[in-house]
Chains A and B, each alone.
Chain A
Amino acid sequence: MLQGWVIVAASFAYIGLLFAIAYYGDKRAEAGRSVIANPWIYSLSLAVYATAWTFYGSVGRAASDGVGFLPIYLGPTLMIVLWWFVVRKMIRIAKTNRITSLADFIASRYGRSALLGGLVTVIAVIGILPYISLQLKAVSNSFQILLQYPEIVMPQRTGELDVMKDTAFYVALFMAMFTIAFGTRHLDAAERHEGMVAAIAFESLVKLVAFLAVGLFVTFWIYDGVGDIFSRAARQADLRALMAPFGGAAGGYASWVWLMVLSMLAIVFLPRQFQVAVIENVDEKHVKRAMWLFPLYMLAMNVFVLPVAFGGLLLFPLGTVDADTFVLTIPMAHKAEVLTLLVFIGGLSAATGMVIVETIALSTMVCNDLVMPVLLRIKALRLTEQRDISSLLLDIRRAAIIAILMGGYFYYLLAGEAYALVAIGLVSFAAVAQFAPAMLGGLYWKGGTRAGALAGLAGGFLIWMYTLLVPAFARSGWIGSEILSRGPWGIELLRPTELFGLSGLDSTTHAMIWSMLVNVGLYVGVSVLGRQAAAEHAQATLFVDVLRQATEPRAGSRWRGTISASSLQTLLGRFVGPARAAELFSTYARERGFEHAEQLEGDGELVRYVELHLAGAIGGASARAMVATIVEEEPLGIEEVMTILDEASQVIAYSHRLEEQQRELEAAKRGLEAANERLRELDRLKDEFVSTVTHELRTPLTSIRAFSEILHDNADLEAEERQRFLGLVIKESERLTRLINQVLDLAKIESGVADWQSARIDLREIVTEAVGATSAIFRARGVSVETCLPAAVPEVVADRDRVMQVLLNLLSNAAKFSPAGTGRVRVSLGAEGREVRVDVQDNGIGIDAAHQAVIFEKFRQVGDPLTNKPSGTGLGLAICRRIVDHFGGRLWVESEPERGALFSFTLPAADPVEAGLEAAAA
């Protein structure tokens, strides 16, 4: 049943399933219900570490040197123990700074250096090509072997190479298409691909199940358990040697240890591992469970490697079948067709998982850290002026994916045949290990400089190329192989595999020793000797101290200078699309409490916000360059920045307080001015009062004195005359007394020490009493009095005696100014709304309008002093008005000359509701 079309159909069905999972994952992510937000999926996605190398290559390695495959998994097991410190820190930094890739991370750490980002990208791409070629080789080989079923024939490359007939070429092409469809559908500002992670986690399950199935099949179906395999193997001397391989097949302990170190670094610094562990991480707490779950996965993946390897060695005659293919060929040899297909799919899933994540990570790096910085610097392209270049970004990534896979294919053509799977992979491991000094140093050592990182990376990478890449090309015959035996230009000391005479080591160990020596030496040496720029120092502090900072640390870059918010939005729109930019801006505005994005100001905070989001789309270094094109920023020392920030915040605080105090002072000043004005007025009034009182007192005194002198000097005055004069003296004395009493009374009222007795009183009673009390005066002047009282009026709260005083005053005035004999006075009482009103109407001389206002003032009497001598003190009405005012009422006059006057006053009713009811009833 294993015809070609079945295999292809199964492959496409599997890929279709992956797409479905990815689609589902993306949909769920959009709906906010992430499927990957749990530690299990996170751990499974980390298992992208297990590639075709693990799936096919481990058995191959085990068949040649026993436990030699294990350091590749023991190293990560050890490294992951430290993840709680290392990777959690990276995650925190990546989230804070919107890091999108390994290159972005290193570039950001060393002052957003575009040069460093580019170098890291170049190293990563070139370094990973062998690794990708390994996947292509594994898939195309397994496909070719499967096509020969039921024969087991190793694929042989014919001398004449025809790319168009090469399976590996189509595998590469197919994987490129697949990755493009998978990873570049849309531009995500955070470079997170939830659907992809979900698919990768699924692939991890598939490859584990497939491998375990083969392991169980070999161990318990073909053989009788593990013990059976090993006891059979122990009978053969060459297999026996593999059981204690050190000092023999596996080489020395040194290469074992170096392999472990290498894989410890690889698990962190392989671009795809960085992608899934750091960039795609949803919650840093997931690291916690992954720390044991992922090693457990690796253990399960490897537990059957040795039985399968020994089983294969026992099964096939030595040299007929490549041990790298045992996983596939053993089930084929036993005609287990379904299992064979499952193994093929498992191998495919291991390879595709690696290729997808790796090329997506690399294409992001190529786009953000290599191509975009260059394109943005080419002024002729006018990229900085285009409205929307997000589709350009996607196209660059698609092109990068194709280029990377084609690069992998050509590496496979050149060097693929000469090496076993694991050896090819180790070349890549050694390349990414070059990132370790700059990365780890950058995480824990603030002193690491950009120049140091550049020198270390470049030096280490050159050594790697010379000691690993050159021999690989030489061995495949692409360049002359005499360089290996005799060295370049015949200098034996420079032989790539035995540099400076260091021999007796395997090529990977040899390359690691030299490249790490140069890398670390240059990184530390140049850093120590050089100086850090301020921007670099700021970034270094930010990275190293990230775990100490609050969850939302302050700016990674601090911009001085201002810019309009709209131009920032336009800039962001060019890279993420105008709609998305508008959305981001309105979100930002809402967070700041503005209603519209138009209200935003282009301050440093907003610039940083834009820069962060740009960094998500095009990487930190490019983002900085882009923002710099529209924001004029002056170079700034970090101390200076901190000082400015400190000072600015203090000044702002001070000026707020000053403004506050100034406002209070002004208010106080206005109050004082008013009080002063009032005091002046009072002073003037007092002076006036004193002079008026003195004048008023003098008048009766002068009269009394004049009459007394007449009586004194003229002893012979007639009795009748004397009597008249004495009467006048008495009358003037009475007036004087009254005047003094009233002055005292007024003074008491005005100074507020008057004794007020408040009680509920009935005004009808008081009116009746007052009229009664004044009836003698009215009779004497021949004036008739008429009272008009309703049946009931509401009670008022007032001092009975004071109200009586007011009424008496009004009545006596009325009597005084009514014409003698014909005068008529009418007193009436009534409820008016919430008040009770008393009217005293006379038919006297009246008061003209000009005088109506002044009669209530002190000592103001109406009338011509010469012809019509007033007979009052001029204080009565003033006192009345104050009394009425005190109880919340009003006193006023309505009059016309010669038409009489109507004096009225009101007092508020004690119970307004009741009063209203009664008024309504009346």
Chain B
Amino acid sequence: MKKPGPSGARLACVFLLGCLLFSFPLIALFNVQGRVFGVPVLFAYLFAAWGLVIALVALLMERRD
């Protein structure tokens, strides 16, 4: 039986990466004052990590096998 879609292992990796990025202790590293391009570090980090996860999923789901 042919298996459409991406491999489970890759998706699971993205999931685990997301879990890591969005939780303690990594977010604690960015829980500091200071700004990157005018945006508070924590805000910038969270949105960047969020964007990264979305981009990875898009890459996995949209590429042609």
Contact = CB atoms under 8 A, between A and B. Distances in A.
A637 interface: no
Contact of B57 (A256, A295, A303): A295
Contact of B61 (A226, A243, A246, A288): A288
Contacts of B28: 246, 253
Interface string B1-16: 0001110100110110
Contacts of B43: 66-67, 243, 306
Contacts of B42: 66-67, 243-245
B35 A230 contact: yes
A226 B39 CA distance: 7
A234 B6 contact: no
A501 interface: no
Contacts of B47: 299, 303
Contacts of B8: 84-85
Contacts of B33: 234, 240, 243-244
Q: How large is the interface on B (under 10, 10 to 19, 20 to 34, 35 or more residues)?
A: 35 or more
Interface string A124-141: 000000000000000000
Contacts of A503: none
A244 B8 CA distance: 36
B15 A78 contact: yes
A908 B23 CA distance: 105
A17 interface: no
Interface in A273-303: 285, 288-289, 291-292, 295-296, 299, 303
A303 B44 CA distance: 10
Interface in B44-62: 46-47, 50-51, 53-55, 57-58, 61-62
A505 to B, nearest CB: 15
A250 to B, nearest CB: 9
B39 A81 contact: no
A78 B5 CA distance: 18
Contact of B50 (A66, A74, A257, A260): A74
A383 B56 CA distance: 55
A244 B35 CA distance: 11
B24 A292 contact: no
A234 B35 contact: yes
B38 A225 contact: yes
A260 B22 contact: yes
Contacts of A285: 4
A299 B50 contact: yes
Interface string A298-322: 0100010010000000000000000
A231 interface: yes
Contacts of B50: 73-74, 77, 295, 299
20 contacts: A67-B46, A81-B14, A81-B15, A84-B5, A84-B6, A84-B61, A85-B11, A226-B38, A227-B38, A228-B38, A243-B42, A245-B42, A246-B28, A291-B57, A292-B57, A292-B58, A292-B62, A295-B57, A296-B54, A299-B54
Interface of A: 66-67, 70-71, 73-74, 77-78, 80-82, 84-85, 225-228, 230-231, 234, 240, 243-247, 253, 256-257, 260, 285, 288-289, 291-292, 295-296, 299, 303, 306
